[in-house]
Amino acid sequence: MQASNNDLIQEICAKSPELETHDVERLVQALPGDGIRRFPRRDLPRIIRGMQSLQTDHPVHFIVDRKDTMEGWEISLYVIGYDHDLLFSILVGVLAAAGMNIREGTIATSRNIGGRRVIIDHFSGNISGSGGMHSWIAQVEEHIREFYQLLESPARPGGSPVHPVSIQQRVIELVSQRIQNSVPGSGTLLNPIHLQIIQKEHSTAIEVKSSDTPFFLYSLSTVLNLHRLRIEHVHIETRNGRLVDTIEFTDRKGKPIKNERVLNRIKLSILISKQFTYFLDKAPDPAKALERFDSLIQDVQQLDAAEDFRQLLASSGFHGELARLLGTSDFLWEDFIRIQRDSIVPMLKNLDKRHLLSTPEDSLEEALGNKLDEARGPDPGSPDIAAMTAALNEFKNRESFLIDMDHITIRDLDFFFLSRRLSTLAEAVVRAACRLAWLEMTGRYGIPRSAGGLEAEWAVFGLGKLGGKALGYASDLELMFVFSDNGHSDGEKSIANRDFFEKMFKRAGGMISAKKEGIFQVDLRLRPHGEDGPVAVKLDKFSEYFREGGKAHSAERLALVRMRHLGGSPELGRECLSIRNHILYESDAIIVPELRDLRQLQLREKLKEGRINAKFSPGGLVDLEYNVQILQVIHGRKHESLRGPGIHDALKSLHNLGTIDDSETQAMIQAYRFHRNLINGLRMLRGNAEDLFLPPQHDREYRHLARRIGYKTREGLSEADQLTIDFETHSARVRQFVERHLGREAIPGKRKLTIVDIVISDGLDPDEMDEFFRLSGFQDGQKAMVNIQNIAQRDVNGEHFIRLAILVWERISRSADPDMALNNWEQFTARLKSQERHFTQLLSQPKRMDILFSLLSSSQFLADTLIQNPGFFFWATDPEVVSRPRNQIEMEEALSNEALAASDHHDWLNRLRRQRKKEILRIGVRDIALGVKIEEIMGEISFLARSCCEIALREAAFRELRPQEGRNDPRLREILSSLSVLAFGKLGGWELNYSSDIDLLCVYLPDESQDRDGEIKLYTGIFKTMVKSLNDFTREGQAYRVDMRLRPYGASGPLVSSMPAILEYYRKHADPWEFQALIKLKPVAGSLALGERLLTELKPEFDRVWDEQDPRSNIDSMRKKSIAHHVGGSGSDPGEAQDNLLPGFDVKNDHGGIRDIEFFIQGMQMLYSGEYPVILTGNSLRGLQLLQRTQLIPRETGNALTEYYTFFRRVEHYLQLSNNKQAHSLPEQEHELNKLALCLKPSWKPERFFRYFRTAISEVHSTYSGFIQGD
């Protein structure tokens, strides 16, 4: 084996001399078989370097190549990392979710290397679209790193394992989000798949041939994971438009799969799961839907109806309904679908035809009666009560399941369909249970009779949701049983009527079994005396307990508003309700302070700190129901239309009577529907009626809840965001409704305001408002309130801003400076032509919202640019614009167009500055909001400066020459070909920052045939005009501060020099520091070739100087002068008290700052560039790379300085973007320092940020000092 790989090892070492031969040998031989040869030879050095780079804190490495084609981007991606069981499925899931169509691929797994197996996964394919490549790569790498962090958690000190199911769920979430916009036609889905099993010595392989469709590779890998198989090697290729995948796998013990039955199950799953994967976005919980689907197809395969099921699966529409059903409820799956395998296929047939599965309401009682008759038994005189009770519950369970299925799978059925059918079912079940209990009790004790011998009457009443005919999923059945008279039963075994009815009613309640706690569970606690009172309530005791002055609490009396007769004696039912009406509507039995005290108790007992309860939190369902009932009691004295049990009817009656207006009526009806739907979704999510706390807003369970209650991603707004908006809006509307009609005290306790309360409510308590703004991170609550009011007034519709404010407020309150963000937004909206359009656009484009508030809270300069130029916003936040860097050609073209469009020179100067601002805004978006790499940001800023210099030079030459043939005049081209503008410093090093000066040098190639004085005058005039175009102030400000003091002889020298004159100067007159400055000299405009020629001719002089001079002493001398000039004295001492180091620290010039790194790099270049010419570059980050590659500095030193340099440059960018000043010093104030920390490292606490900052300063200065001392 070793001999066969020797050629590769030698080739890799030759291409990468920094790699040790024995390391290459070890890594190559770790790949079994022909592992290393599966990959292109050109990539092998990078693969080996990637394998070598792996360590615990760097468990994954990426190699990305890309090419723009007519069909989009061609991508080649290597993922090299430590091996984990789920890894292949994770990787193809992330790539599928990112929109990559994988056409080729090779996956290899190594033997143990240092105790860990390593994977090399290579994918190539394409992604559609022409933009966003850099963002695409960054997003893919970020997702994979996040999953690696979870997978690697146990390997880290103190790390705990993350359950594989949790990881798989996250991947499926990503995939399902992508599927929403990517589902192909059903014809594509049903293309045939050919499978072939191949047995190998140490593994089993499956070859899959299929049409090339998105997500199939992910579906395939997921199926293998569900069957607990370990993927060893994969080969992917596309042949004539068909995908051919060969996957080698083993069981969890590393053994091949030989069992034919197991292999057939795997093949079946692969064949069927392909289609189902495309409908995962329809499932509230996609991970559970996929897992249950695989389980279902294996179970059904054993049944006689298997063929029918396979035919159903041929219908693409059926898959969506099935995904929704399987991914909705643990309860439905565990208690119905899994245990009803024999009957599930007929049900699913009706599902595919979109037929209702549940029994119509008008037929339900008859259907139940038929079931009970079937179970009665052969002897009519001796019914089988036990069998009839079992039939009753079987009917109840099945029918409730079918109602739930209808509600889940048929999307145009609203919540009230569920309420009506469940309520009708419950009534029928309660009546049937009472009849069965009557049969049983009368058979045992005879008929209960009054003292006069008349049959005693009884009645059963529904209260709560059952009384209001508003049952939901997992609602309990609140009942009250009443009987009319004392007396005894007339059977042989006679008992008192109270005992008879006690036994009967208990028996009736006990016959109705609850599948799970709270689901159709009988609740009798609303009877007199609650759980301490008898179940059988005598009519006079009912009146005595609930009447004015009776022992009932006002809340118990208020519950009677929802009291409705369900069964038993109609006469007794009417009499009981008449008594109820007298108590509620004709007396003063309801004491409102008692209700407030109870509500306060509920808040204490039912709520948890930091959690929101859909039912009991202020503005929740209880507040709406209680207060509508109170309004019914108040106004029901005069208006009998308000005495009904239904809240819907009550709201309509209150509106008809003029008590509430039309908008308020609609708002409360919508709020009621929302809260009921939400609670229904929570109960379905958790399978019980008790836990009604909302999941944390950014939790996966919260998204599942949103999907369960019908939300879909719409116009860029996620399901979770839509749920949050609706919850906050409806809850605030309920609170406003209650306060308006019943006073602030109707919602007890200290209120915690939301942004919707702030926007819609008048007369809020000032202390509550102050606390709200304080908790939201504001320093000046009064000003923030004015900002909000001003913005809200600009929303003509009134609702758009309210809905937007909920999402905006979260972003503002967690921003680095909420006061600044809100104030800037208010000024920005004031400049817009259509604020309403702005609100609706932000609502539909949350990413733009994120960008906007990142800018408004972090950079006053960029915020002012937006405020002054609101038209820039949509261009600078367009994904096609900001997702990739713009090159110099694109920038020059835009500036040229502005020059051509200008009416005169002054107009051109303003257009130049305006276009520069526009580009700086775009770059700032990429920097602050998108977190693009700092080297890319510096490169774009440098491109922009070069473009401005180039176009300004052309326009200056055009202005000076005024050629007859215009801008295409040969004379103009000839002049520009003999003139070169070069840049020193950061522009020359391709690392310009936002507020840098640009240090320019102008050189020309003399023409012996021309008049020397005229030539100097011409080139000087062109250069002066160019500099003036950049340097002068207009109403649009200044383009650049141009510094020309680094030219020969400094400020006293000529503005423009000929090539011979400059060469003569550097040979005879230049100081050593001027040769150091040459490191960063680069041509930027005019003839780049002429500029490069100058640098080439200066190189021998550069080498000569540093052969004669000591670079270290020159560097040290220059550094001390720089510190004395910029910082004062000898600068800060990195070893001084740590807390005093950062305030006012000059990140560029002070000890341990940017200059220490730059001077270290330049010192190394001056020392070694004669021997290693390749290291001579003006770019600091590139310089560090080259110093590492030539092994002039250790890799650890290079990596540390690279990290600290990029960190310091981000800090510098932040300081300059704050107010568009050439600032380098950190703020003195603690508040501003904390803001800096939050902007640059939002996930870190400020203390950690400052600790890191101090460490960086100390280590940088230590490295620089070591160099100066010759260490």
CA dihedral 634→636→637→639, nearest 10 degrees, is 130
**Cβ proximity of 1153 and 1208 under 8 Å:** yes
Which amino acid is residue 1228, in one-letter code? E
Instruction: Using CB atoms within 10 Å of the CB of residue 1096, give its burial: 0 to 12 exposed, 13 to 18 middle, 19+ buried.
Output: exposed
The answer to whether 481 and 462 are in contact (CB under 8 A) is no
- What is the per-residue pLDDT across 703-760, written as a single tens digit (0 to 9) for each? 888 888 888 887 678 889 999 999 999 999 999 999 888 888 887 767 788 999 999 8
> Given this model, what pLDDT does residue 1135 score?
58
SS3 at position 497: helix
Residue type, 799: E
- CA gyration radius for the chain? 39
The domain segmentation of the chain, as residue ranges, is: 54-182, 361-483+504-590, 591-749, 754-841, 876-1109, 1114-1268
Cβ proximity of 284 and 324 under 8 Å: yes
| pTM recorded for the entire structure | 0.79
Query: What's the pLDDT score for residue 309?
Result: 60
- What's the CA angle centered on 601, arms 596 and 607, to 5 degrees? 120
Q: Round to whole Å and give the CA distance between 325 and 781.
A: 48
How far is residue 850 CA from its own chain's centroid?
A: 11
Say which CATH architecture domain 591-749 belongs to.
Up-down Bundle (1.20)
- Give the containing element (helix H, strand E) for 778: none
Non-local CB neighbours of 710 within 8 Å, separated by 6+ positions? 411, 677
Cα–Cα distance measured from residue 402 to residue 408, given in angstroms and rounded to the nearest whole number:
10
CA angle, residues 660, 661, 662, in degrees to nearest 5: 125
Identical fold between 591-749 and 1114-1268 = yes
Bridge partners (DSSP) of residue 1056 are 1002
Do 692 and 616 form a contact (C-beta atoms < 8 A)? yes
In the beta sheet, which residues pair with residue 1001?
982
Q: Annotate 117-128 with b (16+ C-beta within 10 A) or e (fewer).
A: ebbbbbbbbbbe
Q: DSSP for 600-666? A: HHHHHHH--TT--BTTTSTTSHHHHHHHHHHHHHHHHTT-GGG-SS-HHHHHHHHHHTTSS-HHHHH
Low-confidence ranges of the chain (pLDDT < 50): 1-3, 129-130, 184-190, 1137
Rounded CA gap, 50 and 41, in Å?
Answer: 15
Alpha-carbon separation of residue 255 from 259, 267, 396, 814 (angstroms): 12, 18, 49, 52
Indicate the CATH number of 876-1109 among 3.30.460.10, 3.30.450.20, 3.30.70.20, 3.90.400.10: 3.30.460.10
For the chain, what is the largest distance between any 2 Cα atoms, rounded to a whole number of angstroms?
140
Q: Class of 361-483+504-590 per CATH?
A: alpha beta
Name the CATH topology of 54-182: Alpha-Beta Plaits (3.30.70)
> For residue range 365-419, what is the model confidence (pLDDT) as tens digits?
999 999 999 999 888 778 999 999 999 999 998 888 888 878 877 767 777 888 8
Count how many residues are written for the chain.
Answer: 1271
Q: What is the pLDDT of residue 187?
A: 41
**Partner residues linked to 1003 by β-bridges:** 980, 1057
Buried b (16+ CB within 10 A) or exposed e, 73-108: bebbbbbbbbbbbbbbbbbbbbbbbbbbbbbebbbb
State the CATH architecture for 1114-1268.
Up-down Bundle (1.20)
CA 659: distance to chain centroid? 44
Residue 67 is predicted with a pLDDT of 79
Close Cβ partners of 662 (under 8 Å, ≥ 6 residues apart): 655
pLDDT of residue 505: 96
Report d(CA 75, CA 1263) in Å as an integer: 39
∠ CA 76-77-79 to the nearest 5 degrees?
Answer: 160
Q: Report d(CA 65, CA 78) in Å as an integer.
A: 9
